[in-house]
Chain A
Amino acid sequence: MSDGKAFNIDLGRLKSREKDRSPQAIEKAERAGEELGFVARDGQKRRGRKPSPRTGQVHAKVLPGVSEEIANEAKRRGVQQGVLIEEAWALYKEKSGI
């Protein structure tokens, strides 16, 4: 088996050419590619709001005044009404020793 160098490289002869790396140049290259079907295939990040972890539901009917108060308080704090119910439930558990 050969172990010698097959050829020698003269590093001085190897030069990189000047390339345009501006966003405009890259966009031109991309446009040229897109027409031939060379399109974005990297996984795109999911856009928009992440799904809420609150998937449980309660089915509660309350007096009209109470529902209005809950709605106003949730709006004031910028949270969902379910957050207030969770907090109320936590207080109830604490009070009841559950």
Chain B
Amino acid sequence: MPTVVIASPKGGAGKSTAAILLGTELAHAGASVVMLDCDPNHSLTLWADRAPLPDRIKVLSNVTESDIVRTIKQHDTDGQIVVVDLEGVASRLVSRAISQADLVITPMRATTLDATIGVRALQLIAEEEEALDRKIPHAVVFTMTKAIRSKQHSGIAESLAAQGVDLINPPLMERAAFSALFEFGGNLRNMPAQGNMDGAIENAALFAQAVYKRLAEGG
């Protein structure tokens, strides 16, 4: 089953939120998901400790540079999807994880700073593709977007699209329910209502569906 690596050297881009939304939505749709917490801030583990994990989800904490390849290999088996949440720094751990990915997702806020730093992940993927002589599918998802799209957002999206970067649609909007995952744990379907829950669930499900489509096409 595929390994999805969530990577961006920019902190606060929404990597852990994207990882949790993807993992919980894929699990809700019937897949078994193993989530690897490679972030020394332990964001995934904090979420996992808040409430019993949803069905079909397993979280492994403290995965480091020295055991990332072995851990992915161990869980990259029939019947489960591996989701890797990385720390927001440029590290060797990121290089190693990307080398084992079936799909790399780079969450990016629609700001110039995020785009400038986030693009380094795309450059790394390109370098690794050349070094390893294999295609590493990758895509960008905009995070914390507003209902009304800013000019900056449009400009960055157009620029990335012009460079052939695959943009995941829909973006992950700024939603109270997404940030509340770290308060209540679990998934969007079992947490106390936070703002527009139907909108949040639909947004997360469509995002996961867009990722699933890429995984299915790449298989």
Please say whether chains A and B are actual partners in one complex. yes
Stretch at the interface among A21-29, A49-57, A75-83, A90-98: A21-29
Q: Is the CB of B131 within 8 A of A41?
A: no
Q: Which are the 9 A-B pairs with shortest beta-carbon distances?
A: A33-B95, A6-B205, A15-B219, A29-B99, A32-B127, A13-B216, A28-B131, A41-B91, A32-B131
**Given known contacts A38-B95, A42-B65, A6 and B28 CB-to-CB distance under 8 angstroms:** yes
Q: Is the CB of A29 within 8 A of B102?
A: no
Kindly count the residue-residue contacts between A and B in the assembled complex, taking CB atoms under 8 Å apart: 137
How far apart sit A67 and B205, CA to CA, in the bound complex (Å)?
81
How far apart sit A20 and B102, CA to CA, in the bound complex (Å)?
12
Q: Is the CB of B131 within 8 A of A16?
A: no
Q: Is the CB of B209 within 8 A of A6?
A: yes
Contact with B along A1-34 (1 / 0, CB 8 A): 1110111111101111101110001101111111
What are 16 of the A-B contact pairs (CB < 8 Å)? A1-B197, A2-B202, A3-B189, A6-B28, A6-B202, A7-B205, A8-B30, A9-B29, A9-B31, A26-B99, A32-B130, A32-B131, A33-B128, A38-B9, A38-B91, A38-B92
Q: Is the CB of A2 within 8 A of B198?
A: yes
Closest Cβ neighbor of B201 among chain A residues: A2
B26 beta carbon closer than 8 Å to chain A = yes
B162 beta carbon closer than 8 Å to chain A = no
Please give the number of chain A residues whose Cβ is less than 8 angstroms from any Cβ of chain B in the complex. 35
How far apart sit A42 and B79, CA to CA, in the bound complex (Å)?
31
How far apart sit A34 and B90, CA to CA, in the bound complex (Å)?
9
Q: Is the CB of A32 within 8 A of B102?
A: no
A39 beta carbon closer than 8 Å to chain B = yes
Q: Is the CB of A39 within 8 A of B90?
A: yes
Closest Cβ neighbor of B130 among chain A residues: A32
Closest Cβ neighbor of A42 among chain B residues: B65
**Given known contacts A39-B91, A39-B92, A1 and B120 CB-to-CB distance under 8 angstroms:** no
Nearest CB of chain A from residue B51's CB, rounded to whole Å: 17
Contact with A along B1-41 (1 / 0, CB 8 A): 11100000100000000000000011011110000000000
B81 beta carbon closer than 8 Å to chain A = yes
